Structure formats: structure tokens, C-alpha cells
Amino acid sequence: MINFNARTWFFLGFWACFGMLAVGAYFQIVEEMEPCPLCISQRIAILLTGIVFLIAAIHNPLQKGIRIYAILGAICALAGSAISARHVWLQNLPPEEVPECSPGLEYIFENFPLAETVKLMLNGTGECADVLWSLFGLSIPGWTFIAFIGLAGLSLFQIINKKQYQIR
């Protein structure tokens, strides 16, 4: 078994989040896949999870701090997994049950109240049901769901990780 201290695991979690964001940027910029509201919500959750991991790694806390960062990281990752699960659910709805498409996000941000914008971003719209890419039968949100569960597990593992020596 790999026996890293919590700081190393948190850095690895940060780099995993960075990699996920880089892949999302690649799909958006190079492959020209425009992200839907749920995709953007998942990216925000990845960013928040990565920030928690980076702060934890830089801070290099003692056991109580590790527990706090582990719980915060798991909360961010599990929130992201919930958004990903909703996205996968929308993608698997029968066509007649898919919600209507909305105006573009730029228009929504400029013309809708913040509460309505957040609700739309978390509930998803018709364009969220489109599957633009898949690998081994899983779409991007499916893979993102798996990644979020892995990040939550990595985070919570730090609570029981016995290799907690501090490098200062």
C-alpha cells in the first residue's frame, strides 16, 4: 500500500482537480463543446474541492486540522457528485421528459435574478441532456461523478490515514 502523509494526499487531490479542470477547458476550447449549466456547476465544485485540497496541503495542519480539511473536501466533492448524478439522470431521461432548453448563460446572468440563475444552474436545462462525448459507455458527467466519489474518498481517507508525520 502507498503510505503517504496527509499533505501529499491533499496535493495529489489538488492535482487531480487541476487535471479535471484542464480536461474541461480542453473540451471547451479545443473540441468546441459549450458547457451547459450543470457542467459549469460541476466545474465550480471541482474548483472548490481543489482549493480546499491546496489550502490543506500548504497549511500542513495537525490531526484536528486534517480532519476539518478532510470533511470540507468531502463536502465539496459530494456536492459535486450530486450535481453530476443529476446530470447523468437528465441525460438518461426519455426525450419527451427532458426539460426545455434555456437561453444562453450570458443572457441568463445579465437578465435573471441571482436566485433564479443559481436554480437554473443546479437543475439543468434541455442542453444538459445532450451527450456530446462518451468513453466506455459513460458520458463526461458519468466520469465526473466517479471522480468526485474518488475525491471524497481520498479526502475522508485522511481522517484514518496513520502516516500523519509533519514536514515543517
Boundaries of every domain in the chain: 6-160
E strands, the chain, in order: 134-135, 138-139
User: Is the model's pLDDT at 77 over the cut of 80?
Assistant: yes
**Ranges 29-38, 39-48, 76-85: which has the least confidence:** 29-38
Measured distance CA(84)–CA(148) in Å, rounded? 8
Q: Which of 19, 13, 84 is nearest to 55 (CA)?
A: 13
Average pLDDT rounded to a whole number, residues 149-160: 90
In CATH, the architecture of 6-160 is Up-down Bundle (1.20)
d(CA 97, CA 57): 44
Report the b/e string of 63-89 with b at 16+ CB within 10 A: eeebeebbebbbebbbbbbbbbbbbbe
pTM: 0.78
Average pLDDT over residues 126-138: 73
